[in-house]
Amino acid sequence: AAAVGFLTVSSVITMSAPFFLGKVIDVIYTNPTGDFTDNLTSLCALLSGIFLCGAAANATRVYLMQTSGQRIVKRLRATLFSSILKQETAFFDKTRTGELINRLSSDTALLGRSVTENLSDGLRAGAQASVGIGMMFFVSPNLAAFVLSVVPPLAVLAVIYGRYLRKLTKVTQDSLAEATQLAEERIGNIRTVRAFGQEMSEMEKYTSRVNYVLQLAKKEALARAGFFGATGLSGNLIVLSVLYKGGLLMGSAYMTVGELSSFLMYAFWVGISIGGLSSFYSELMKGLGAGGRLWELIERKPQLPFNEGIILGKDIFRGALEFKDIEFAYPTRPETSIFKDFSLSIPAGSVMALVGPSGTGKSTIVSLLLRLYDPISGTITVDGFDIRQLNPLWLRSKIGTVSQEPILFSCSIAENIAYGAEDPSTVTAEEIQKVAEIANAANFIKDFPKGFDTVVGEKGILLSGGQKQRIAIARALLKNPKILLLDEATSALDAENEYLVQEALDRLMEGRTVLIIAHRLSTIQNADLVAVLGQGKIIECGKHEELLANPHGLFRKLMQKQAFLQNSDTFALDVQPREKAVFEENI
């Protein structure tokens, strides 16, 4: 509001200048031989004061609009980022990361600039044009009507140009998002690109994308050239019309020299203002083109709730899990069924191992329990409550996960471990060190020069696979969850560390409901029950000794492939540390 006020003051002062300057000229011409020094001095002094006030108002306007623009961009980015994080996982399966980054950076800046600085300049140009036209009619209605006959066709041209530019901006921003996505993905996976020697190929791909953006920019440049050429010509025609018609009126004694000078200056200002309005309209259309995509993201309602639903009390929450008649397919591949009639019950406080051939959907179970997706049909319950009735944010806070390929953030080791806590800022260094020791991570962390303050790089790229896995285990330990999901949590560890971490996991699993996606016998044998997944459902379920005793069972076949059976008739499965090398390979 203050910026608009200063804008009004600045515009009024600016547009009053031609009127007063015309008076100055009349004072000089009407007294060519008289003494007009006093009148001229006082008038010029008054005008100087007015112009200084106008300059101060204009400077204040620019400052306020600039800062308010940055605040709008900040709020816009925060709102957009919040909206993106609230979307369901299926949204990210279909939407490219580079596109979202482009929306957060380029589109928000473009929209913010178009509705603040550009809007300020547009309002100023509009106010000056309105006042200028009003003063032109005040000075000479006949001359004003004659001069402004050029405006209607210019307005029609502006509408056509604006619509075209808005559509073109949408296409340009989408193309720029594709180029950003390509660059982000390739740079993030530079080691893979380099390992396959594809640098030149990727350069050509990116160049091709930005060349397309360049072609769109050329189309925009051509349209802008035509539009601004037309508006510039219109401004010049206005000035020329004033000189022609004004000269005729002066010859007929209908205007004084001062009035014609004032009118000419107003016409000049109107011409400049029309040029400013053209630029404002052009930038506004570009901003609206970019803003269309932003509003789609901001107003998009997630298909799964974010932070609403039932929260179970401590006396009710035990951690019993049950899958009943689950049918599921990923939203991006609806034709490929993952589960059909999948049922599994995991009592509270028990350890369930889930095994099966690769590609049968074992890791999908973790996604469904975390409610990253909803099944097509069937129910998943926690202590008898359908998870669709529970608050997803609360539910995930009670579940600890260690995935097969743990992802770390580009910050320190301590910050990555503390990420498992409900409030990472309250975690002490002693707590972080304790869980690191339990996860067998403390020794290698202390070997780093900066210890727990060591930055791990993007996605933990500066650490080995085993080191990342142990930090992920420490992160899950710190969370102290009621339900624990281990997706091959020891897959990246060597025999010695696996044995130590397995002991830590055994202690961690006490009193918790645990689902282990297992590939190794050392993990399976510690489970209360083993469920065998195949063809989208549970084929076998029972203790591992019972399943091994079934000569036609899938579990037995899987064990045989890895030489877990020493004899086809007798099965002695006594695992000792010295025998671990036999079981190192994955199923």
Q: What are the sequence ranges of the domains in the chain?
A: 2-299, 310-398+483-490+511-587, 403-480
The pLDDT assigned to 179 comes to 85
Q: Which CATH number describes the domain made up of 2-299?
A: 1.20.1560.10
pLDDT on residue 462: 84
CA 504 to centroid of chain Cα atoms = 38
> How much is the pLDDT for 23?
65
Kind of pairing between the strands at 339-346 and 321-328: antiparallel
Strand, helix or coil for residue 422: coil
For the chain, what is the radius of gyration of the CA atoms? 37
**pLDDT score recorded for residue 587:** 38
- Kindly report whether the global pTM for this prediction surpasses the value 0.75: no
- Check if the beta carbon of residue 217 is closer than 8 Å to that of residue 172: yes
Helices and strands (H, E) in the chain, number of each type: 21, 10
Q: 80 with 297: CB under 8 angstroms?
A: yes
Q: Round to whole Å and give the CA distance between 71 and 67.
A: 6
| Backbone phi and psi for residue 173, each to the nearest 5 degrees, phi listed first | -65, -40
DSSP helix/strand/coil, 172: helix
Whether 310-398+483-490+511-587 and 2-299 are alike in CATH topology: the answer is no
Burial class (CB in 10 A: 0-12, 13-18, 19+), 222: exposed
CATH superfamily, domain 403-480, is P-loop containing nucleotide triphosphate hydrolases (3.40.50.300)
* Beta strands across the sheet bearing 537-542: 399-402, 483-487, 513-517, 351-355, 529-534, 537-542
| Residue linked to tokens 């200002």 | 269
Question: According to the model, what pLDDT value does residue 375 have?
Answer: 93
> How many C-beta atoms surround the C-beta of residue 2 within 10 A?
10
pLDDT for position 582: 37
CA 508 to chain centre: 36
φ, ψ of residue 334 to 5 degrees: the values are -65, -20
Long-range residue pairs from 144-148, CB within 8 A, at least 24 positions apart, any chain:
144/263, 146/241, 146/245, 147/238, 147/241, 147/242, 147/245, 147/267, 148/238
- Residues 513/517/523/528 CA torsion (nearest 10 deg): 40
What is the rounded CA–CA span in Å between residue 471 and residue 435?
Answer: 9
CA distances from 13 to 24, 51, 56, 271, 274 (A): 16, 7, 11, 18, 19
Residues shown for the chain: 587
Domain 310-398+483-490+511-587 matching CATH 3.40.50.300: the answer reads yes
Distance, in Å, from the CA atom of 264 to the CA atom of 19, rounded to the nearest integer, reads 10
Would you state the pLDDT for residue 26?
Answer: 65
How far the first Cα of the chain sits from its last, in Å, is 68
State the pLDDT at residue 62. Answer: 76
Torsion of CA 396, 401, 406, 412, to 10 degrees: 70
The span from the CA of 239 to the CA of 261, in Å, is: 11
Could you give the angle at the alpha carbon of 462 between the alpha carbons of 460 and 467, nearest 5°? 70
Give the residue among 561, 475, 93, 101 at the shortest CA–CA distance from 303: 93
CB 124 within 8 A of CB 7: yes
**pLDDT tens series, the chain, 587 aa:** 666 677 677 666 666 666 666 666 666 666 655 556 666 677 777 777 877 887 887 788 778 777 877 788 888 888 999 999 889 888 988 888 878 888 888 888 888 777 776 777 777 777 777 777 887 788 778 777 777 776 677 667 777 777 787 788 778 878 888 888 888 878 877 877 877 788 888 888 889 988 998 898 888 888 878 877 777 777 677 777 777 777 777 766 666 777 777 777 777 777 777 777 777 777 777 787 778 878 888 888 988 888 888 998 888 888 899 999 999 999 888 888 999 889 999 998 888 999 888 788 888 999 999 999 999 999 999 999 999 999 998 998 889 888 877 888 888 999 999 988 888 888 899 989 988 888 888 888 998 989 999 998 887 888 887 788 888 888 888 888 889 888 877 665 666 667 766 776 777 777 789 998 876 666 777 788 999 988 888 998 988 888 888 888 888 887 777 654 444 444 444 444 433 343 344 33
> What's the one-letter identity of residue 550?
N
Pairing of strands 377-382, 483-487: unpaired
List the beta bridge partners of residue 342: 326
DSSP bridge pairs for 78: none
What does the alpha-carbon distance between residue 288 and residue 114 come to, in Å, rounded to a whole number?
8
